[in-house]
């Protein structure tokens, strides 16, 4: 929030833009509240409730956006109403789950001030770096290019951000508590889950990216009533960035939970600096397409540096031999290329291609890329899930 306010004071914007940014800054309060409650639910192992609250807050915000657009309300209301609805639901969640978990009644939960500051600055700095290489392009674009181009990029970026929520839920709100425990007690399982999640995240990210490439312009046209040739350049670049973001989340989660937060922050800071420099050079020339390209390059840089750091510090690798890693990445690239070639087909055939690519990718990963131990982890998880479902019905 401080970064945004400083930027607004440096660059001259009209009053409407300043009001919109102020409203969005208020909405940033939702994230720490949501994180606080889901941390308590993680400790209880109540992942269904975590999924419910995350899905509900996102759904309410999108419903508010679409409802405001359908009603033809002003830009200020279009910004404020979704944030207000989502914020209200997060407050309800905080009160409801806080009482149910009895966090207000248990003494000794709050750390002393020095411990809090010593630990929290790391995660605060990481969050700031994340905002820079995710939002820095939008900020520079708003200062260097016409408003219509900024609007087009913002719309496309909203779609990418919606997809990028998935790794955050999987790692930050489900696997982190297990990772912290396994890093101390079960190193082999820790390494197995890194390899498993990295493969699944990369394939899932490729499928999400393929969907964005094939249906992104249709979604933008349907949701926002906008269509421009610029989207044909931005959306594929953002889709590749989303795929790489999914991949980078896996080694990043291990670095966080295995005691290498400082190294992760250094990598994030380096990536943020490179991102700002490239955006400053490319946006004045290439505009929104340049910003989208830098977003993808930033995610690639994060993934490469996270993986390199993880190998140096822990020895964890995706495969036991390098040629398998190269072949696997080639397989994923072919998936994305197949979707880009099919983007000119009618929507029915694009849907068929998406389904076929998804099925082939999942079967290929299961048969060829997952180890026996990784497959047993998946089957065990599915078996436990079915058992819990039967117990809840009884």
Cβ atoms 205, 244 nearer than 8 A: yes
CA distances from 338 to 68, 280, 369 (A): 37, 33, 20
Sign of CA dihedral 308, 312, 316, 319: positive
| % residues pLDDT > 90 (the chain) | 18
Q: What is the mean pLDDT of residues 134-163?
A: 78
Q: What is the pLDDT of residue 148?
A: 76
Cβ atoms 255, 194 nearer than 8 A: no
Better-predicted residue by pLDDT, 42 or 295: 295
Tens of pLDDT, residues 184-199: 888 999 999 999 999 9
Better-predicted residue by pLDDT, 30 or 310: 310
Give the DSSP H/E element, type plus range, for residue 72: none
Tens of pLDDT, residues 3-13: 566 655 666 66
Q: What is the pLDDT of residue 125?
A: 64
Write phi, then psi, for 346 (nearest 5 degrees).
-70, 160
Q: What is the mean pLDDT of residues 209-233?
A: 79
**Residue listed under structure tokens 């350049």:** 233
Q: What is the pLDDT of residue 278?
A: 93
Q: What is the pLDDT of residue 113?
A: 46
Give the distance from CA 383 to its chain's centroid: 28
Q: Which of 164-178, 261-275, 324-338 has the lowest mean pLDDT?
A: 164-178
Burial class (CB in 10 A: 0-12, 13-18, 19+), 205: buried
Q: What is the pLDDT of residue 339?
A: 77
CA distances from 292 to 205, 283, 299 (A): 17, 9, 11
Cβ atoms 199, 370 nearer than 8 A: yes
Domain positions in the chain are: 9-103, 146-258+314-389
Name the pLDDT band for 120 (thresholds 50, 70, 90).
low
Tens of pLDDT, residues 294-350: 999 999 999 999 999 999 999 898 888 888 888 888 888 888 887 778 877 888 888
Cβ atoms 218, 350 nearer than 8 A: no
Q: What is the pLDDT of residue 304?
A: 94
3-state helix, strand, coil in the chain (%, to 5): 90, 0, 10
């Amino acid at each position: 929030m401080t970064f945004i306010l400083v930027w607004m004071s440096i660059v001259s914007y009209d009053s409407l833009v300043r009001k919109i940014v102020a409203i969005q800054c208020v909405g940033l309060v939702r994230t720490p509240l949501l994180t606080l409650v889901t941390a308590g639910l993680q400790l209880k192992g109540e992942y269904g409730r975590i999924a419910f609250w995350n899905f509900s807050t996102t759904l309410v915000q999108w419903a508010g956006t679409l409802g405001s657009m359908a009603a033809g309300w002003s830009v200020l209301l279009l910004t404020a109403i979704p944030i207000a609805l989502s914020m209200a639901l997060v407050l309800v969640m905080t009160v409801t789950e806080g009482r149910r978990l009895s966090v207000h009644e248990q003494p000794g939960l709050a750390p002393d001030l020095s411990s809090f500051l010593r630990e929290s600055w790391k995660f605060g700095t990481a969050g700031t770096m994340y905002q820079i290489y995710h939002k820095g392009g939008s900020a520079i674009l708003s200062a260097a290019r016409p408003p219509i181009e900024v609007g087009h990029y913002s719309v496309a970026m909203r779609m990418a951000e919606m997809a990028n929520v998935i790794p955050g839920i999987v790692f930050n709100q489900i696997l982190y508590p297990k990772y912290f425990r396994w890093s101390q007690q079960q190193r082999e399982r820790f390494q197995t889950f890194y390899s498993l999640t990295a493969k699944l995240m990369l394939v899932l990210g490729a499928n999400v990216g393929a969907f964005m490439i094939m249906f992104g312009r249709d979604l933008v046209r349907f949701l926002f009533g906008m269509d421009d040739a610029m989207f044909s350049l931005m959306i594929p670049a953002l889709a590749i960035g989303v795929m790489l973001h999914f991949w980078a989340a896996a080694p990043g989660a291990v670095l966080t939970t295995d005691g290498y937060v400082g190294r992760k922050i250094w990598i994030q800071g380096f990536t943020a600096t490179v991102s700002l420099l490239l955006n400053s050079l490319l946006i004045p020339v290439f505009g929104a397409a340049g910003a989208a390209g830098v977003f993808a390059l930033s995610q690639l840089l994060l993934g490469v540096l996270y993986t390199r750091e993880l190998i140096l510090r822990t020895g964890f690798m995706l495969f036991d031999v390098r040629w398998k890693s190269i072949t696997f990445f080639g397989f994923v690239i072919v998936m994305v290329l197949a979707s880009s070639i099919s983007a000119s087909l009618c929507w029915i055939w694009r849907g068929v291609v998406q389904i076929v690519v998804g099925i082939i990718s999942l079967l290929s990963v299961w048969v060829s890329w997952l180890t026996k131990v990784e497959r047993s982890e998946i089957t065990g998880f599915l078996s436990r899930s079915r058992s819990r479902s039967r117990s809840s019905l009884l």
